[in-house]
Chain A
Amino acid sequence: EIVMTQSPATLSVSPGERATLSCRASQSVSRYLAWYQKKPGQAPRLLIYGASSRATGIPARFSGSGSGTEFTLTISSLQSEDFAVYYCQQYNNWPPFTFGQGTRLEIK
């Protein structure tokens, strides 16, 4: 089973600033990596797939990068609606699909 590790657990950033979230895989997942946004009481929302492709309707301030075992989600110029929990998920080697434990992005 591939273990996904996200860092930091919590990230405090001011609105308008940039946020950088990291995700590491225990073995290579090539570029089969997705990012999701989760808000309380809402369905998770797909942001990025294929490590760097934005999903339909996702604003350009969200970008993904990386390959192999190291991945980054960058949110430039944070908006109020961006404060949420973010999860990475690998889909290179399954079952099982595995998620990171999440990074909580909070307002500084």
Chain B
Amino acid sequence: EVQLVESGGGLVKPGGSLRLSCAASGFTFSSYPMNWIRQAPGKGLEWVSSITTTDGFIYYADSVRGRFTVSRDNAKNSLFLQMNSLRAEDTAVYYCARDLGASNYYFDYWGRGTLVTVSS
């Protein structure tokens, strides 16, 4: 069974940093591109970042580029999101999600999310 479990969320002050993790199981993690997607309170879904299978290509939303860094450790079946210079508008539930790549860039499995709250 495919499972994605996020962790690392919490309360942080504006300008602070946080590192999110996503532990994957039930599939060959190294074979799949991975993504971070967020949902601010009362808002819709917003794609944040994507990373291909071997870090060859990394993409960011304009809203986080230069502040967030995505990475993965295929040996540990883990995805990460380093979030720096956090702002109030980064407050959201952050989900990791898998896509199938090769033009199939839809998200077939998601985790349950981890809440990040940026507030003084």
Contacts of A99 in B (CB 8 A): 44-47
Which chain A residues (87-108) contact chain B, with CB distance < 8 Å?
87, 89, 91, 94-102
18 A-B contacts (beta carbon < 8 Å): A34-B107, A41-B112, A44-B45, A44-B95, A46-B107, A46-B109, A49-B104, A49-B106, A87-B45, A89-B106, A89-B107, A91-B106, A94-B105, A95-B47, A95-B59, A96-B47, A99-B45, A100-B44
A interface residues, Cβ below 8 angstroms from B: 32, 34, 36, 38, 41-46, 49, 55, 87, 89, 91, 94-102
Closest A residue by C-beta to B93? A41
* B110 contacts the other chain (CB 8 A): yes
Give the interface size class of chain B.
Answer: 20 to 34
B interface residues, Cβ below 8 angstroms from A: 4, 35, 39, 44-47, 50, 59-62, 95, 97, 99, 103-113
